[in-house]
């Protein structure tokens, strides 16, 4: 049962990151050029909260069932989720407020936005590893 909870939490998180990154954000930028930020900013708070919630649920499921897991399996499940959680927390709690206060014309905006995109990509990759770790054991 805990394996299912872990897998569902990671899959939901992976799906939300994938859908937002490859469907919602590009569609907003394509349909609202110059105004996409106004549309996307309110979504980011919920986007990061969903990720953090899924991350804690996944980690909780692994920690509750850790007695039945080898050290290698435990590491294979926990490390990628923990990395994705740290990346999401940093992006949501540190970068998002800084980006919110900047305009796209600000030179810092491009740098912060690029770092945020890199963390998002790292989160997606880590979640893919976590899903693989859950499925292939």
DSSP-derived 3-state class of residue 51: helix
Q: How far is CA 64 from CA 33, 57, 59, 74, in A?
A: 47, 10, 9, 11
Name the DSSP letter for residue 20: I
Name the DSSP letter for residue 32: S
Is the distance from CB of 8 to CB of 58 less than 8 angstroms? Answer: no
Q: By C-alpha distance, which of 43, 129, 123 is closest to 86?
A: 123
What's the pLDDT score for residue 1? 79
Query: Whole domain around residue 109: which residue ranges?
Result: 2-135
The total number of structural domains that make up the chain: 1
Q: pLDDT tens for the chain, 137 residues: list them.
A: 788 999 999 999 999 999 999 999 999 989 988 888 888 888 999 999 999 999 999 999 999 988 888 899 999 999 999 999 999 999 999 999 999 888 888 889 899 999 999 999 999 999 999 999 988 86
Q: How far apart are CA 72 and CA 85, in angstroms?
A: 20
What's the pLDDT score for residue 137? 66
């Amino acid at each position: 049962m805990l394996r299912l909870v872990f897998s569902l939490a990671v899959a939901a998180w992976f799906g939300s990151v994938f859908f937002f990154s490859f469907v919602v954000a590009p569609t907003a930028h394509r349909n609202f050029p110059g105004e996409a930020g106004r549309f996307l900013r309110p979504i980011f708070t919920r986007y990061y909260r969903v990720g953090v919630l899924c991350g804690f649920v996944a980690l909780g499921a692994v920690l509750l069932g850790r007695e039945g897991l080898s050290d290698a399996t435990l590491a294979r499940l926990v490390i990628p989720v923990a990395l994705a959680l740290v990346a999401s927390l940093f992006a949501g709690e540190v970068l998002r407020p800084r980006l919110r206060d900047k305009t796209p014309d600000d030179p810092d905006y491009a740098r912060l936005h690029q770092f945020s995109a890199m963390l998002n990509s790292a989160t997606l990759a880590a979640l893919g590893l976590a899903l693989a770790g859950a499925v292939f054991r």
